[in-house]
Structure 1
Amino acid sequence: MRDKVYFTSSGVSCAAWHYPGTNGGCVVMTGGFGVTKEPGTDRFAERFAAAGFSVLAFDHRHFGESAGEPRQVARVRDQLDDWRAAIAYAKTLPGVERVAIWAFSLPGGYIVQLASEDLGLSAAIAQSANVDGPTVTRHASRYQSSGIAVRLLGRSLLDVVGSWFNRPPRLVDLAGPTGTVALLNTPDAQLGSDILSPDNRYPDWQQAIAARSVLPAALYRPAKYAPDARCPILYVVCQDDKSALVAPTLKAAATTPKAAVLQVPGNHYAPFTNAHEQVVEAEIGFLHANLAAAPAGTATGSN
């Protein structure tokens, strides 16, 4: 059971699903970069709710059912503000005493930065997280020709200039095969549509993003915040992840004061497919240890 709710972030109305819980803990969630709340969170949110946790799964401004114009524009700064507003709102929900955060891919990197802030969080889960944009971008370039990379850069710069004159965004697909202009051309990124929205289960999900959003995302490096994390973080790492690499995430985990690491076989979307049961059970165990009761002195998780 879930209800549609709304909260305000910097004057913009953000839409969310609220799953009421019974154990005092609430998990605030979003999908990946450009991924709306339903394809990005439904499968995990339902399991968390069944385990007794409240869930607040929301759309960033400019995406999904949230307000904000122009559409499909993802600014890292604005999305982090949306997270802070969602966390503050979650604390006002009936029965909520403690809050955790969960996200994957680039917003999985947001988790690391937010965990370093004084937001009163009890736990955080960074799943298949991109914690080092420059390193991931260099690796992703292996799946692009130099000509395609130049076209993507050119479209991004033209879109930035267009934004100065209030022109509509120039969109790029979230993923595409090698030889096409897209945010990512990595092999696992190309699987995202079929995995997150099988049989077009979520037809309203627009799988594109404003080109002006690409460069800031490529430069974002939240791993630098890991040593300052104030709450336990569970890092879920996919061993064959080509879209959010293993090495930077393990390095960030090694510098996180209260870190737990779960490594699973498979690609970027393994937590949604073959590794789903292993991952969701580990995440629920981590949440029970750090969210459903008074925060423990050490993180609990699987290695």
Structure 2
Amino acid sequence: MRVDVEFTSGAVTLRGWLYRPEQSSGIVPLVVMTHGFAGVKEWVAPFAEVFSNAGLACLVYDHPGFGTSDGEPRFEVDPVAQIEGYRDAITYAQTLDGIDPERIGIWGTSFAGAHVLVVAATDRRVRAVVSQVPLTNGWATFRSLVPSIMLPLVHAGIAADRQARASGKPHETIKAASDDPTELVAMPGIEVYNWLMANGPQIPTWRNEVTLSSIDKFQSYAPEAFLRRVSPTPLLMVIADQDTLTPSDIALQSYADALEPKELALIPGPHFAVYEEQFDRASGIARDFLLAKLGG
């Protein structure tokens, strides 16, 4: 029950898949879902399958510049454009036959776990939000990933890239992850590199790269400013207790700062455990929450 779909966000065509529950008759709720930093929709699809098997329709798509979606420059992680993509996906979903426009939920993971907080805080069409292994504080997370000794080099690179683009050169790109700890990458650490290498190369549209300007946008992203505004929309945070990519302590503090109604699921393991050995637990908790808040 998965079909290819596309919709427009700004002037860009975004592409993805619409999952409809096989056993459903009549109008059903829908969950809008997309991937994290330097990801692709294929990594989200297993969660959509769990949700659709339980009676929820799902709209899964690639961010602008990634996967099968259009958008230039390619591999630009732009929080503003990605947040608009979510909101335009909601609008598109509300036009679909058989979808209840009043029962729309959103799910985001990792970097998109930040976006869903902003979307839920600013778009009251959202009836429930799941934020999985989320980035919840932009600068605090950026500083946890970039050692102080590297900051001058990162900022010098960002400045040089801006100057080059002003003179007509293309966006500089860097690796999303690397096994060389001295290399400037978007997501440092061998854990990230190993997971990306195990799950990315078999997907034709995936590349181990992002624009350098993505890092500039990352350091100025502040989803924490929207956190308390999510209420009264029901919020579920799924946090990995050994997460060092979107650090557990930062996420747990953000959960404490969020207003009710809210629920916390603390999952054993590091960041990528929710996609691997803890998948059943993470997806099942999210499924049950969405069913409770949206209905089946």
TM-score, length-scaled by structure 1: 0.89
Asked if the contact 1:18/1:57 (under 8 Å) is kept, the reply is yes
Counterpart residue type for residue 212 of structure 1: S
Tell me the residue number matched to 2:175: 173
Counterpart residue type for residue 239 of structure 1: D
SS in 2 for 1:175: coil
SS in 1 for 2:176: strand
Shift of 1:187: 4.1
Shift of 1:140: 1.3
Asked if the contact 1:99/1:120 (under 8 Å) is kept, the reply is yes
Residue range with higher mean Cα deviation, 125-134 or 170-179? 170-179
Asked if the contact 1:176/1:182 (under 8 Å) is kept, the reply is yes
Q: Is residue 217 from structure 1 mapped to residue 228 from structure 2 by the alignment?
A: no
Asked if the contact 2:66/2:205 (under 8 Å) is kept, the reply is no
Shift of 1:190: 2.3
Tell me the residue number matched to 2:120: 115
Residues 1:139 and 1:73: Cα distance change in structure 2 (over 3 Å): same
CA RMSD of aligned residues (A): 1.8
Partners of 1:131 and 1:192 in 2: CA distance = 22
Shift of 1:273: 1.2
SS in 1 for 2:271: coil
Residues 1:187 and 1:135: Cα distance change in structure 2 (over 3 Å): farther
Tell me the residue number matched to 2:130: 125
Tell me the residue number matched to 1:262: 265
Q: Is residue 82 from structure 1 mapped to residue 76 from structure 2 by the alignment?
A: no
Residue number among 34, 50, 54 corresponding to 1:51 in the alignment: 54
Deviations 1:219-272 (A, max 9, x none): 312122111114111100001100101122222222232111000111111101
Asked if the contact 1:171/1:208 (under 8 Å) is kept, the reply is yes
Deviations 1:133-157 (A, max 9, x none): 2111221124xx83x5544433322
Counterparts of 1:155-170 in structure 2, within 5 Å, are: 155-170=157-172
Asked if the contact 1:186/1:242 (under 8 Å) is kept, the reply is no
Tell me the residue number matched to 2:205: 204
Deviations 1:37-96 (A, max 9, x none): 112x01111111111111111111111111122211222111111111111111112211
Residues 1:219 and 1:186: Cα distance change in structure 2 (over 3 Å): farther
Unaligned runs of 5+ in 1: 294-303
Counterpart residue type for residue 164 of structure 2: G
Aligned pair count reads: 287
Q: Give me the identity figure in percent.
A: 26
Counterpart residue type for residue 7 of structure 1: F
Asked if the contact 2:138/2:224 (under 8 Å) is kept, the reply is no
Deviations 1:101-148 (A, max 9, x none): 111111111111111113311111100100112111221124xx83x5
Partners of 1:12 and 1:95 in 2: CA distance = 26
Partners of 1:245 and 1:168 in 2: CA distance = 33
Partners of 1:242 and 1:10 in 2: CA distance = 34
Counterpart residue type for residue 9 of structure 2: S
Residue number among 128, 139, 147 corresponding to 2:144 in the alignment: 139
Tell me the residue number matched to 2:284: 281
SS in 1 for 2:175: strand
Residue range with higher mean Cα deviation, 249-258 or 160-169? 160-169
Residue number among 19, 34, 39 corresponding to 1:35 in the alignment: 39
Deviations 1:177-211 (A, max 9, x none): 311110011343223314544xx431321121100
Partners of 1:37 and 1:169 in 2: CA distance = 24
Counterpart residue type for residue 160 of structure 1: R
TM-score, length-scaled by structure 2: 0.91
Partners of 1:119 and 1:5 in 2: CA distance = 24
Residues 1:72 and 1:194: Cα distance change in structure 2 (over 3 Å): closer
SS in 2 for 1:240: coil
Asked if the contact 1:61/1:79 (under 8 Å) is kept, the reply is yes
Q: Is residue 235 from structure 1 mapped to residue 237 from structure 2 by the alignment?
A: yes
